Structure 1
Amino acid sequence: METRVAEIADGIYRLSTFVPDLTPAGMTFNSFLVRGEEPLLFHTGLRNMFPLNRDAVASLIPPETLRWITFGHYEADECGAMNEWLAVAPGAQVAHGQTGVSVSLNDMASRPPRVLDDGERIDLGGGKVVRYIDTPHTPHGWDAGVLFEESTGTLMCGDLFTQLGNEPALVHGDVVGPAIAAEDVFHYSSLNPGMGMTIRGLATLAPKTLALMHGPSFAGDGAAAINALADDYDRRIGDRLAEFGFARAA
């Protein structure tokens, strides 16, 4: 395996490792480095991928200068190498929402994490500012959240828009259809009545770039893509409710 580096927006880099035998089409595992005076890594990658990701980061910044570590939710591919990064970067701190910190990170992180309130910003310096947004149970995990870099309009989506295969680092075409297909394969989302509303709330950010953890990054009308994804989840939730004899909402 190798980890490939690509700049998907100004000062934001995708670190992508393709695992070919995970599915018939394979799957990418992506982390994102935001360069600034206080560099931030979104997703640590799996623990056994740490050497690959460390070397990828080292091609951009000295790894020991990393300041912030955050991720979509507490799960191995999001934060499996968390403590390895904390060991390499002595000034780094994990930052996540209240639920993730209280339930998992206070115990599992080797240094005390920082709690981020919903909507809280971190100024990384160099013109980069990230905003944390709670998305509980969306697409899964009650501690789920996303990160929005304001200067570039880049939404780091976590597992939203997950898709299979090994596409180019940045695409401009359909990002919703492949995500629907992946949901049909994995059924990885925690379907809940508030899901569509939560996802549509992200559309108000009008992101220019969607940074996917599994799949290519997307440049284009992020709001339209987000709303289309929400429509599909509304359909799925309606179908499931109908299976149990509940009428669809008008």
Structure 2
Amino acid sequence: METRICEIADGIYRLSTFVPDIAPPAGFTFNQFLILGDEPLMFHTGLRKMFATNLAALSRIIPPAQLRWIAFGHFEADECGAMNEWLAVAPQAQLAHGHTGCMTSLNDMADRAPRALADGETIGIGQGRRIRYIDTPHTPHGWDAGVILEEKTATLMCGDLFTQVGDGPALTQGDIVGPAIAGEDLFNYSSLSPGMGATLRRLAKLAPHTLALMHGPSFEGDGAAALSALADDYDRRGGMHRIAA
């Protein structure tokens, strides 16, 4: 496996590992994101089995010991499987996640106590950057789900939202909604909770310029339109009337 690096927004790097054996013949990408600042933040830790290749890639950008924050969308192996390995190489780093995830998993599973974030809480990481945490329970899955917005570049770290197969470009201005709909048809990975559409429309109100996908290319453009279109599809799947955000 090889982890490739691309700067998808100013000071935000995508570390992408392609695995052709998952969902063949298209294959599947696992992406982490490094946000630079006085207190650098990494979103997603990757699988434990990918730790060595991800560590080598991140080391080409900054010394791993400089990491100060580690965050992810929800408690799942590809999102946080290597969290303790990263905590070991970054002694000043702290996990940051929502209250639910800390209560249900991280307070026990993490080698160092995490920082529990309230919905809408922010962390300043220096150089004019501020990270905002947003609770997204059961969107796309997991009671503990959440996303973060890097406010300076309006980059939304989407976690498993817009999951799609294949090994496309690191950054696209093309369609990510159609491939995400196909990904949902293939994997059936979302919980289809009644509030899912409303949660996505709440994210759309943030007007993100860049959408950083865990599984697929990052998107540059009208992030609000993409989130709203995905919300419409989930409303259709659930056979539900739109729930007001």
| 8 Å contact from structure 2 (residues 197, 242) kept in 1 | no
Q: How does 1:36-115 map to 2 (within 5 A)?
A: 36-115=37-116
> Which position in structure 2 is the counterpart of 1:33?
34
Q: How far apart, in 1, do the equivalents of 2:145 and 2:133 lie? A: 11
> Which position in structure 1 is the counterpart of 2:209?
208
SS in 2 for 1:188: coil
> Which position in structure 1 is the counterpart of 2:200?
199
Q: How far did residue 9 of structure 1 move?
A: 0.1
SS in 1 for 2:101: helix
Q: How far apart, in 2, do the equivalents of 1:99 and 1:14 lie? A: 27
> Which position in structure 2 is the counterpart of 1:22?
22
> Which position in structure 2 is the counterpart of 1:229?
230
Q: How far did residue 110 of structure 1 move?
A: 0.1
Per-residue deviation, residues 88-117 of structure 1 (Å, max 9, x unmatched): 000000010000000000000000110011
Q: How does 1:151-170 map to 2 (within 5 A)?
A: 151-170=152-171
Q: How far apart, in 1, do the equivalents of 2:222 and 2:242 lie? A: 28
Per-residue deviation, residues 116-155 of structure 1 (Å, max 9, x unmatched): 1100111000111110000000000000000100000100
What is the root-mean-square deviation of aligned Cα atoms in Å?
1.1
Q: How far apart, in 1, do the equivalents of 2:225 and 2:132 lie? A: 21
Question: Which one-letter code corresponds to 1:102 in the other structure?
Answer: M
Per-residue deviation, residues 211-232 of structure 1 (Å, max 9, x unmatched): 0000000000000000000000
**TM-score normalised according to structure 2 size:** 0.97
The gaps in structure 1 that reach 5 residues or longer are 242-247
Structure 1 segments (4+ residues) deviating >3 Å: none
> Which position in structure 1 is the counterpart of 2:146?
145
Question: Which one-letter code corresponds to 1:16 in the other structure?
Answer: S
Q: How does 1:179-198 map to 2 (within 5 A)?
A: 179-198=180-199
SS in 1 for 2:37: coil
Question: Which one-letter code corresponds to 2:17 in the other structure?
Answer: T
Q: How many residues align?
A: 242
> Which position in structure 2 is the counterpart of 1:245?
none
> Which position in structure 2 is the counterpart of 1:116?
117
Per-residue deviation, residues 144-190 of structure 1 (Å, max 9, x unmatched): 00010000010000000000000010000101000000000000000
Q: How far did residue 192 of structure 1 move?
A: 1.2
> Which position in structure 1 is the counterpart of 2:4?
4
Q: How far apart, in 2, do the equivalents of 1:249 and 1:31 lie? A: 32
SS in 2 for 1:99: helix
Q: How far apart, in 2, do the equivalents of 1:3 and 1:116 lie? A: 30
> Which position in structure 2 is the counterpart of 1:244?
none
SS in 1 for 2:103: helix
SS in 2 for 1:49: helix
The gaps in structure 2 that reach 5 residues or longer are none
Q: How far did residue 249 of structure 1 move?
A: 7.2
| 8 Å contact from structure 2 (residues 6, 170) kept in 1 | yes
Query: Identity rate of aligned residues, in percent?
Result: 72
Question: Which one-letter code corresponds to 2:185 in the other structure?
Answer: D
Question: Which one-letter code corresponds to 1:159 in the other structure?
Answer: D
Q: How far apart, in 2, do the equivalents of 1:106 and 1:202 lie? A: 27
